[in-house]
Structure 1
Amino acid sequence: MPTPHLSSFRFVMLAAFGLLNLSGCRRSSFPDVPAGYREYAYISNGGSNTVTVLDLVYLRQDRTLQVGANPTNLAVNPARNEIYVANAQSGTISVIDAEANRVVATISVHRQPYFIAVDPTGHRAYVANYGSNSVSVLDLDRRREVSVAGAGEQPAQAHISPDGRTLVVTNHGSGSVSLFDVTPYDSAKPSSGMAIHLRSTSSGCPGAADTVILPDSSKVFVACSAGHQVMAVGLAAAPGSWAAKQNPSLTTDHMLALLDVGKTPVHLAMKPDGGEIFVSNFDSDSFSEIATWTNEVGGTYSIGNRPVHGIVSRDNSMLWVSNQGADSIGLYSIDDGKLAGSVRTGSGPGALAFSEDEHLLLAADTHSGDVAVVRTAGKQGPALFTILPAGISPNSIAIKAIQEK
């Protein structure tokens, strides 16, 4: 698969940490939540064909849902209470109703769907089919595949730009990036514009994997995981837009730079303001800092053994990096430009996700099959708060908050 995977085994950490308390009591010393507020974390377990649902208000396991074979990625619908699961081995997408926390539909796609992304309107989704070199377009209202387009070899990820105009697909096998034209959703014509059309392809990015798109939809950055670079590509401006009028050359996609980072860059974490990107370099135990305005690498710094995933706080001040080989999360103060400590987790932390209020950070522990729950702020600073059970080889986390009326 496109990202590094180490051998997985079940290793329960609860008793060792003295944190065996799963009966479920409301979080103490945390911000109060309003009546009727619910918040859940969904964890896909690639080795047990399940999704674990964790209750983040009472900090307990809520239930385990059976999905398709080898779930690899989760996506949240921003407009409705649904979660989507890409099941690589069974070639399907599972639809989870987040209010009832049950699987309500299964959508067939193609071979080895590895990644799913939902558009900003919540009406469509795009699936990178790793085993069939294609991208599926899903109508989420009718819960079915409505279009399919060819991509490069082994597409690993699919991301829709914030403006809804461009679909970016990274092709792991061919070391390229496919850019597709997308017709923005029109509520007056909900069934129109479902097909996507290949606009351009950028090559020269071996092992193309993770990607981030700037908030203004002007650029995409791609981790070339089989090398030591990050590719920057300028995305075509909308015809008639201010940018296109000022510079007609911006109406086409164009390569901007290949930036040297550490070895095996596997994940990109962007500041919410889009000003900087942080690259997790798996084989050099480091992260690199990229300025998105100038397309320059500001520096590469040690962070811990086998970094695989990063996430930046909402206030743009702190970077958290899961170090899979060190069983810890490293902290880097962006404002101060220096390391700010580390937090122990279970074995082999990978995917990271904040709770809605960012008072909790969750890490999926790939080897021990559980989820480390880190308290991000406290009298003694960030610290491990508890560990909750998941399944075999947890690999993705999605958070959904619901306010009952």
Structure 2
Amino acid sequence: MSSDDGAVRAFIGSFTSAGGRGITVAAVDQETGALTVLGATDTVPDPSYLALGHGPGPGGGALYAVSETEPGAAAALDITGDLPQPIDGIRPVDGNGPTHLALAGGHLLTANYGSGSVSVLSVRADGSLGPAISVLRHEGSGPVADRQRAPHAHQVLPDPSGNWVLSVDLGTDSVRICALDPVTGALRLHSETALRPGTGPRHLAFHPAGGHAYVLNELEPTVTTCRWNAAAGALEPVGETSVLPTEPAEGGDPATYPSAVVVSHDGRFLWTANRGHDSISVLALDTTGEQATLVTTVDCGGHWPRDLALDPTGRRLYAANERSCDVTWFDIDPATGIPRRAGSLDAPAASCLIFA
């Protein structure tokens, strides 16, 4: 979605508790990819992740933000003006520390890391949020004592068919596949896919053809490739690929905690953001989407890249570097998929970026 004059805007989420501006609005130069700040609003505390409503109907055209707090909350914002304006008040999600959100089946869903749950909120005709309708609580743990004593839902998203909702849980080393009742908002567990213990899955992204999903692991710097059967609602792990070179860097590699995964629009490349290593990994995907091969890593342009985003054209990649307080953008080589740094913007405590 773009404004009436065809201009593209970027919305940058950040941690207000760490000095962030809240939600920053930036104009996007469609020729160079450069960002220019238009303004910011801190009406939502710690809006660490954002989602955009598309098209007509409830939520279409609105911007949604989690409030990564305890207790957690979510907010809907009108973005027709210069700055996002709350459509209604901030709504509790009946969970702690929501880290991700997505629209599905006419509802807003949040992944609540702190409480290990997924919440479903109603979306009204004007895009505003109603109360939490249902909460699905995850169960289980993993072998990494300091990170996996309990469930930690880190991401929730609909599959490409729109028939299923997937939640990625770092604490239980698994991905849950759920059915969402579009009328009642009830979320029902359909199946759970176990991944290798101790990997700590954080986020996943689907191949544009819809038949594969790529799960990025935080506790080990790897991507797990899975087949996705939308008819059956079944996720099957088929391979695992390191996102870091096998040869350690001089002086040894620092501890690395991958954070975000993005697949190119044509399905040829996959990129990951790697905190600690402070890099972006480039992986080539074969024509089936089932084989991922590490090509190289490039510097992320800052420190602690928390999120990656492709611009609407798919020609540029943006990294939200939380601890160096910037968003850096890269031109992507269409032949190799390798990003080349093109510029950056000051963005204190940046945590995510989306385009409208």
TM-score by length of 2: 0.72
**Aligned counterpart for 2:239 among listed residues 299, 304, 308:** 299
What is the identity, as a one-letter code, of the residue corresponding to 2:94? Answer: A
Secondary structure of 1:72's counterpart equals: coil
Counterpart Cα distance in 2 of 1:201 and 1:61? 38
**Aligned counterpart for 1:290 among listed residues 226, 231, 234:** 226
Secondary structure of 1:346's counterpart equals: coil
Counterpart Cα distance in 2 of 1:285 and 1:63? 33
Task: State the 1:177 CA deviation.
Answer: 2.5
Task: State the 1:237 CA deviation.
Answer: 7.2
Task: State the 1:176 CA deviation.
Answer: 2.4
Aligned twin of 1:178: 119
**Aligned counterpart for 2:20 among listed residues 49, 56, 72:** 49
Aligned twin of 1:131: 70
Alpha carbons 2:94, 2:132 under 8 Å: kept: no
| Equivalent residues in 2 for 1:208-247, closer than 5 Å | 208-236=153-181
Given the superposition, is the C-alpha separation of residues 275 and 130 from structure 1 closer, same or farther in structure 2, using an over 3 Å criterion?
farther
Deviation sequence 1:300-353 (CA, Å, 0-9, x none): 221124211001112223211111222221122222622232332213222111
User: Is 1:39 the equivalent of 2:27?
Assistant: no
Counterpart Cα distance in 1 of 2:223 and 2:204? 9
Given the superposition, is the C-alpha separation of residues 378 and 177 from structure 1 closer, same or farther in structure 2, using an over 3 Å criterion?
closer
Task: State the 1:383 CA deviation.
Answer: 3.3
Aligned twin of 2:252: none
**Aligned counterpart for 1:340 among listed residues 285, 295, 300:** 295
**Aligned counterpart for 2:192 among listed residues 257, 261, 268:** 257
**Aligned counterpart for 1:74 among listed residues 43, 50, 56:** 50
What is the identity, as a one-letter code, of the residue corresponding to 1:275? Answer: G
Counterpart Cα distance in 1 of 2:299 and 2:217? 20
Task: State the 1:288 CA deviation.
Answer: 1.1
Counterpart Cα distance in 2 of 1:155 and 1:135? 8
Alpha carbons 2:165, 2:178 under 8 Å: kept: yes
What is the identity, as a one-letter code, of the residue corresponding to 1:173? Answer: G
Counterpart Cα distance in 1 of 2:41 and 2:78? 20
Alpha carbons 2:329, 2:341 under 8 Å: kept: yes
What is the identity, as a one-letter code, of the residue corresponding to 2:10? Answer: A
Task: State the 1:207 CA deviation.
Answer: 0.8
Given the superposition, is the C-alpha separation of residues 38 and 231 from structure 1 closer, same or farther in structure 2, using an over 3 Å criterion?
same
Counterpart Cα distance in 2 of 1:171 and 1:55? 31
Aligned twin of 1:159: 102
Alpha carbons 2:101, 2:155 under 8 Å: kept: no
Larger radius of gyration: 1
Alpha carbons 1:279, 1:289 under 8 Å: kept: yes
Alpha carbons 2:8, 2:355 under 8 Å: kept: yes
Identity %: 21
Given the superposition, is the C-alpha separation of residues 175 and 37 from structure 1 closer, same or farther in structure 2, using an over 3 Å criterion?
closer
What is the identity, as a one-letter code, of the residue corresponding to 2:20? Answer: N
How many residues were matched structurally? 309
Task: State the 1:147 CA deviation.
Answer: 8.8
Aligned twin of 1:9: none
Given the superposition, is the C-alpha separation of residues 72 and 167 from structure 1 closer, same or farther in structure 2, using an over 3 Å criterion?
closer
Deviation sequence 1:45-66 (CA, Å, 0-9, x none): 4344322625333444423634
Secondary structure of 1:78's counterpart equals: coil
Counterpart Cα distance in 2 of 1:388 and 1:365? 10
Deviation sequence 1:366-386 (CA, Å, 0-9, x none): 232223322212577523132
Aligned twin of 1:391: 347
Unaligned runs of 5+ in 1: 1-35, 81-117, 240-250, 401-405
Structure 1 vs Structure 2 CA RMSD: 3.6
Counterpart Cα distance in 2 of 1:72 and 1:234? 26
Counterpart Cα distance in 2 of 1:134 and 1:41? 22
Counterpart Cα distance in 1 of 2:134 and 2:345? 44
Task: State the 1:136 CA deviation.
Answer: 5.6
Counterpart Cα distance in 2 of 1:221 and 1:285? 21
Given the superposition, is the C-alpha separation of residues 288 and 355 from structure 1 closer, same or farther in structure 2, using an over 3 Å criterion?
same
TM-score by length of 1: 0.64
Task: State the 1:175 CA deviation.
Answer: 1.8
Alpha carbons 1:122, 1:140 under 8 Å: kept: yes
User: Is 1:331 the equivalent of 2:276?
Assistant: no
Counterpart Cα distance in 1 of 2:47 and 2:202? 19
What is the identity, as a one-letter code, of the residue corresponding to 1:323? Answer: N
Task: State the 1:361 CA deviation.
Answer: 0.8
Alpha carbons 2:204, 2:261 under 8 Å: kept: yes
Alpha carbons 2:241, 2:294 under 8 Å: kept: no
